[in-house]
Amino acid sequence: MEITGHAALVSGGASGLGAATVRELAAKRAVVTIFDQDESKAAALVDELGPSVSYVVGDVGDPQAVSRAVEQASTGAVLRINVNCAGIGWAKRTIGKEGEPHDLEAFKKVVSVNLIGTFNVMRLAAAAISKADPLGEAERGVIINTASVAAFEGQIGQVAYSASKGGVAGMTLPAARDLSVAGIRVNTIAPGIMDTPLIGFLSEESRKALADGVLFPKRLGTPQDYAGLVIAIIETPYLNGETIRLDGGLRMAPR
């Protein structure tokens, strides 16, 4: 699908994978709306990229906030692209060293943001995209969600995170089947270890140790790697219902 001149909504678009995606879409001359809780970072990105980019502040779990973002994204251009990058991390074993159980509210929070939040944005964006006029091969748009290799190889302490990302991967094919009648494709990217603010606290030694587990190239993934795959998915009309690992061949060990 052609990107130029079409509207895109990027949740979690103010930093990390989302910000790189916003930059790539803007470079392709899309009209981009950032949906994020961090207003200062969102505003800075708008200042950097110019009038083709705007933002709406809100939580992915809030239907009203998401509806505002979808409405803004549909103003001035036809909404055809939705990329969902918003997510949080959490590390806790099912039982701790003293035998204490995993905090249930923390588990619910991770699933609420990563899985339910992704679905909330996807369902509302899909409803808007379905109203667009069809393009070639009757395509109306594409939705790209973000899982993780933890969906398949969750490490010790990742039970909540892995469950949430496994859910995102698991809903990819049924969502693609649901939305096929509207000409909307759905795909998911499952990144490996990405060099984003989530691991910014690690030392250089720790980062090198993580990179050593990657087959090739021997480095951490970058937000630009992710954004490049987003563009490829959008521009490849026969790619649908798929979860794509972006990990340099990495397979996660238990710890």
C-alpha to C-alpha distances, 65 to 33, 58, 97, 121, nearest whole angstrom: 13, 5, 40, 10
Work out the end-to-end distance of the chain between its first and last CA atoms, rounded to an integer number of angstroms.
40
| DSSP code, position 199 | G
CATH match of 7-246 with 3.40.50.720: yes
**Cα-flanking dihedrals φ and ψ of residue 168, to 5°?**
-65, -45
Q: Give the per-residue pLDDT at 198.
A: 67
Domain ranges of the chain: 7-246
C-alpha to C-alpha distances, 204 to 110, 211, 220, 224, nearest whole angstrom: 28, 10, 12, 20
Residue 55 bears catalytic tag: no
The pTM assigned to this predicted structure is 0.96
Cα three-residue angle 159-36-117, rounded to 5 degrees: 40
- Taking only the tens of pLDDT, the chain with its 255 residues reads 999 999 999 999 999 999 999 999 999 999 999 999 999 999 999 999 999 999 999 999 999 999 999 999 999 899 999 999 999 988 899 999 999 999 999 999 999 999 999 999 999 999 999 999 999 999 999 999 999 999 999 999 999 999 999 999 999 999 999 999 999 999 999 999 998 876 766 678 777 888 888 999 999 999 999 999 999 999 999 999 999 999 999 998 888
Spot the catalytic one: 55, 161, 226, 238: 161
